[in-house]
Amino acid sequence: MQNPRPQQLVAVLDFGAQYGQLIARRVRDLNVYSELVPCDITVDELKELAPAAVILSGGPASVYAEDAPGIDAGILEMGVPVLGFCYGQQIMAVTLGGEVGHTEKGEYGPATLVREGDSRILGKTPVEGQTVWMSHRDAVSRVPEGFRVTAHTETCPVAAMECAERNLYATQFHPEVRHSEYGKTMLESFLFDVCGLERNWTMDNIVEQKVAEIRETVGERKVILALSGGVDSSVVAALVHRAIGDQLTCVFVNHGLLRKGEPEMVEQVFRTQFNVPLVHVHAEERYARLLAGVTEPEQKRRLIGTEFWKVFFEEAQKIGDVEMLAQGTIYPDIIESGARKTGGKASTIKSHHNLIPFPEGVHFDLIEPLDHFFKDEVRELGVSLGLPSSMVYRQPFPGPGLAIRIIGDVTPEKLDILREADAIVREELDAYNARLFEETGERNGEHSCWQYFAVLPDIKSVGVMGDERTYARPVIVRAVESSDAMTADWAKLPYEVLGKISSRIVGEVAGVNRVVYDVTPKPPATIEWE
């Protein structure tokens, strides 16, 4: 059986680890392609993927628990190098006749590693004093026959073990976590010294390979794509257009809820720069009628989403003879929608796609060229395809757009106010982030803002401008530090930055007489106000 992928594959067997995605991510950072596969994959199924190496992830279970996930023992006998982390080490040990027991105290957080003898994985790291990251209660108490202990910590006698003759390696700690000082060195030793892999997961190779794949899948057919101006759909558009040129039509549904300058940017990049056939659907009035008087946040979301697909499919019908729909699904969408539980890509994609409300009798074959890319890989791909960095590094922006940043009903007047105020917040904080980037070299550094915008509440208050009493709207500024939107903290912006945002908004945006700053983390608040 042949590996269906052109790259060598490192298969990460996912035992339900908190860090499973991170392992695949770290391997790809070293320019080697890696995918998560369910831990109950059989040796024959795995052979079909022809992995060049296998990594066993950690996991929350105890190996002796009744429902503890096991491993097909054949995987350890395939002749392919295997590296296990944490639960991965323990399952390797018990499967091959070793023993796992409770350590007296669990070990959580940093620990100091002491190496013992030679090791193909640890050989390039210090013999004493390196910090590794531990997170376990159980640990290997007796290694299987043929294995040697290659490291210990104060509480963990088998912090690493290996059997070089059978190419089996394992650590109790987590090399994939940044807190493990030499984790990257260990992973490099495994991938390049032990497995002899090549660094061929590079953007140039990827573009070339994806273009060929898309051409083959699409053939002569016509493809449409719903372009939102967001990162994922923009990168798919650029990639698919590179592959099949004018066989692709992009449909940009302008619902009038976008930020200042965004529709113009989509036009500029796709029509002018890339010369992509682009249908710009002016649905602003249709949406204004739809949303008139609607105040409930979830109802806004529902109406906006349903109408979007209605408009989109109407346009698709007008184009005619379209057989394929390109989508910007990315790898975390697939993983998070349950790939692990369903045990395979196909079934997951189906549940994910059920979300698209295809009208009766309408059918498109789907093409999702980014479905195995992490978000930062999508951005890199965008840069190498020539998309502007303002588009590629765009901060998250909700599909329902400004409608969920206007508390209460959405009116054209409120949209105008919010759009102008938001443009000022973004301009000032883009500049603030750029200054931090210059100082630290980090794009999402310690104090950088991750997402920032304006919100328009449904109240008015009294102010005084010139000698006149005003009764006008406040604008709320929201700026947060985060890495994944799951949790966030309010950004500790310098007073002069806040002051400038405030005086600009009040001075430049008619109808606003007050600016306030939201100083609530998530939780208990959310990032958005609706």
Q: What distance in Å separates the CA atoms of residue 466 and residue 198, rounded to the nearest whole number?
A: 69
At position 344, the amino acid (one-letter code) is: G
- For residue 64, give Cα distances in angstroms to 110, 166, 170: 26, 25, 19
CB of 451 to ligand XMP, least distance (A): 5
Can the peptide bond before residue 277 be classed as cis, meaning omega within 30 degrees of 0?
A: no
Residues in the chain: 530
Residue pair 157/148 in contact (Cβ under 8 Å)? The answer is: no
CB nearer to ligand XMP: give 348 or 451. 451
Q: What distance in Å separates the CA atoms of residue 397 and residue 256, rounded to the nearest whole number?
A: 14
CB atoms within 10 A of CB 67: 5
User: Which residue out of 136, 174, 241, 255 is catalytically annotated?
Assistant: 174
CB nearer to ligand XMP: give 106 or 457. 457
CB nearer to ligand XMP: give 221 or 301. 301
Answer yes or no: 176 catalytic: yes
CB nearer to ligand XMP: give 28 or 379. 379
Q: What distance in Å separates the CA atoms of residue 226 and residue 367, rounded to the nearest whole number?
A: 12
- How would you write 441-463 as a 3-class SS string? CCCCCCCCCCEEEEEECCCCEEE
Answer yes or no: 250 catalytic: no
CB of 155 to ligand XMP, least distance (A): 38
CB of 404 to ligand XMP, least distance (A): 6
CB nearer to ligand XMP: give 115 or 405. 405
User: Which residue out of 39, 86, 163, 250 is catalytically annotated?
Assistant: 86
* Of the candidates 313, 314, 289, the residue with the CA atom closest to the CA atom of residue 303: 289
CB of 253 to ligand XMP, least distance (A): 14
CB of 4 to ligand XMP, least distance (A): 32
Which residue is associated with the tokens 């390039």?
A: 124
Which residues are bridge partners to 254 per DSSP?
Answer: 282
CB of 490 to ligand XMP, least distance (A): 12
Strands (E), 42-98: 53-56, 82-85
Q: What distance in Å separates the CA atoms of residue 419 and residue 424, rounded to the nearest whole number?
A: 9
CB of 399 to ligand XMP, least distance (A): 4
User: Which residue out of 35, 107, 162, 176 is catalytically annotated?
Assistant: 176
For residue 179, how many C-alpha atoms fall within 13 Å in the half-sphere facing its CB? 13
Q: Largest alpha-carbon pair distance within the chain?
A: 89
CB of 391 to ligand XMP, least distance (A): 16
Q: What is the DSSP track for 173-218?
A: S-TTSTTSTTHHHHHHIIIIIIS-------HHHHHHHHHHHHHHHH
Binding residues (CB under 6 A) for ligand XMP: these are: 301, 396, 398-400, 451, 485, 522, 526-528
Q: What distance in Å separates the CA atoms of residue 152 and residue 390, rounded to the nearest whole number?
A: 48
CB nearer to ligand XMP: give 440 or 526. 526
CB of 249 to ligand XMP, least distance (A): 23
Four-point Cα dihedral 34, 367, 257, 290, nearest 10: -130
CB nearer to ligand XMP: give 241 or 352. 352
Rg (CA), the chain: 27
CB atoms within 10 A of CB 302: 13
- For residue 227, give Cα distances in angstroms to 12, 231, 306, 330: 33, 10, 16, 15
Q: Which residues are catalytic?
A: 86, 174, 176
